[in-house]
Amino acid sequence: MIPSTIKTWQMTVPGTLTKTEIPVPTLQPGEVLVEVKGCGVCHTDLSYFYMGVRTEQPPPLSLGHEISGVVVAAHEATAAGYIGKEVIIPAVLPCNKCELCKTGRGNRCLAQKMPGNSMGIYGGYSSHIPVPAVDLCVVGNRGNVPLEHLSVIADAVTTPYQAARRARLAPGDRVIVIGAAGGVGSFMTQVAKGMGAAAVIGIDINEEKLEFMKGYGADFTINPKGKTAKEVKEAFKAWCKEKGLPSNYGWKIFEVTGTKPGQELALSLLSFTGMLMVVGYGTDETSYMLSKLMAFDAELIGTWGCPPEFYPQVLEMCLDGRINLGPFVETRPMSQIEQVFDEAHHGKLKRRVILTPDF
């Protein structure tokens, strides 16, 4: 059913959410209207809302970029075949025309659009959202996995997958995940193991969540709370020695926290022929002697989003059990958005919350 208006929670100014209604726009060629079934709450939204990080589309606008739903309307000339399809909307929508897009780097397209940031006023904390159809990930047979759960694929799972691709992760590789029990880190851990990593070490300061990750991809865990970097390295070396693994070369490190302590620990663990992937975002500066990269013959790589063409592979991993969503997410009605934002901001959430429209 095509609505007369879009019901939405808008950020009118940073720190303020208002429930309102906006007109349904006239769909342009190639566009569809998606009825939102679930929208994951990401820390990027919190940075816009609480920390004053600028959105490309100034407020008022609807936040939210981890979206799954059903196509209910389409521009009849170019997108009618999508009506009725269950879909995941990529968090990063490239232009598909520029040099970066044509050379396989569309995830960092400089003209990209992102729901809840740079796609006009439209975001996922809404009843509906208009989007280009070309990059939608059509779900197909999802078995008993709820459609709303699949919303987190659009950032929390595809971002780690792209990081693993950039790291050229291959079966048999050895991996360290810093922030392994967090919202994105828990999926980074699962992605690494799901892509064939022979050893995955999870590092996190949340002991309860860290212990839980032993059942979801972490072969060994270290809680760095109260420990120096040297003490963490000693624990790492002791486990490697026990397992007959090298500790001083070849490890691929994924730093997911975006915090200065996490980044400093990651850099201290980087060694010969190793690789450090910067996955998490933070605003603190971290110093490092770059000549170590030369001496180690090591790599330091940033990673951003995920090209839409890889979403089907990630979806398959989530449906065949290599990546488990259910134990790491919970759904709440969208009317609780203010409470959820507050809990997320103060670190009170145990799982990634998916808001389901209840307007």
Q: Residue 175: its pLDDT value, please?
A: 98
Longest CA span, the chain? 65
Q: Residue 66: its pLDDT value, please?
A: 98
Q: What is the rounded average pLDDT of the residues 190-215?
A: 97
Q: Which two tokens stand for residue 91?
A: 């968090």
Q: Residue 142: its pLDDT value, please?
A: 96
Q: Residue 76: its pLDDT value, please?
A: 87
Cα separation, 56 vs 52, whole angstroms: 12
Cα separation, 155 vs 92, whole angstroms: 9
Cα separation, 156 vs 139, whole angstroms: 17
Cα separation, 116 vs 105, whole angstroms: 22
Q: Which two tokens stand for residue 341?
A: 């934002």
Cα separation, 265 vs 59, whole angstroms: 37
Domain with CATH 3.90.180.10 in the chain: 5-155+306-356
Candidates 11, 114, 14, 132; CA nearest to 56 is: 114
* Domain boundaries 5-155+306-356, corresponding CATH code: 3.90.180.10
Indicate whether 1 pLDDT > 80: no
**What percent of the chain stands above pLDDT 90?**
96
Beta bridge partners of 341: none
3-state SS, residue 15: coil
Q: Residue 106: its pLDDT value, please?
A: 94
* Confidence grade of residue 79 (pLDDT, cut at 50, 70, 90): confident
Strand 31-40 with 61-62, pairing: unpaired
* Confidence grade of residue 295 (pLDDT, cut at 50, 70, 90): very high
DSSP code at position 126: B
Quickly list H helices, the chain. 43-50, 99-102, 158-166, 185-194, 207-212, 229-243, 260-269, 291-296, 311-319, 337-345
Candidates 223, 189, 220; CA nearest to 206 is: 223
CA quadruple 44, 50, 51, 52: dihedral positive or negative? Answer: positive
Question: What would the pLDDT profile of 121-165 be if each residue is shown by its tens digit?
Answer: 999 999 999 999 999 999 999 999 999 999 999 999 999 999 999
Q: Residue 283: its pLDDT value, please?
A: 84
Q: Which two tokens stand for residue 2?
A: 């095509």
Cα separation, 344 vs 157, whole angstroms: 18
Cα separation, 93 vs 308, whole angstroms: 7
3-state SS, residue 141: coil
CA quadruple 117, 119, 123, 126: dihedral positive or negative? Answer: positive
Cα separation, 192 vs 246, whole angstroms: 19
CATH of 159-302, one of 3.40.50.720, 3.40.720.10, 3.40.50.300, 3.40.50.2300: 3.40.50.720
The DSSP-derived string for 211-222 is HHGGGTT-SEEE
Candidates 220, 184, 206; CA nearest to 304 is: 184
Q: Residue 282: its pLDDT value, please?
A: 85
Distance of CA 72 to the CA centre of its chain: 26
Question: What would the pLDDT profile of 209-219 be if each residue is shown by its tens digit?
Answer: 999 999 999 99
Q: Residue 291: its pLDDT value, please?
A: 97
Distance of CA 228 to the CA centre of its chain: 29
**pTM of whole model > 0.85?**
yes
Question: What would the pLDDT profile of 95-128 be if each residue is shown by its tens digit?
Answer: 999 999 999 999 999 999 999 999 999 999 999 9
Candidates 121, 123, 95, 90; CA nearest to 110 is: 95
Sheet holding 61-62, edge to edge: 16-23, 5-13, 61-62
Q: Residue 118: its pLDDT value, please?
A: 94
Domain with CATH 3.40.50.720 in the chain: 159-302
Q: Residue 185: its pLDDT value, please?
A: 97
Indicate whether 288 pLDDT > 90: yes
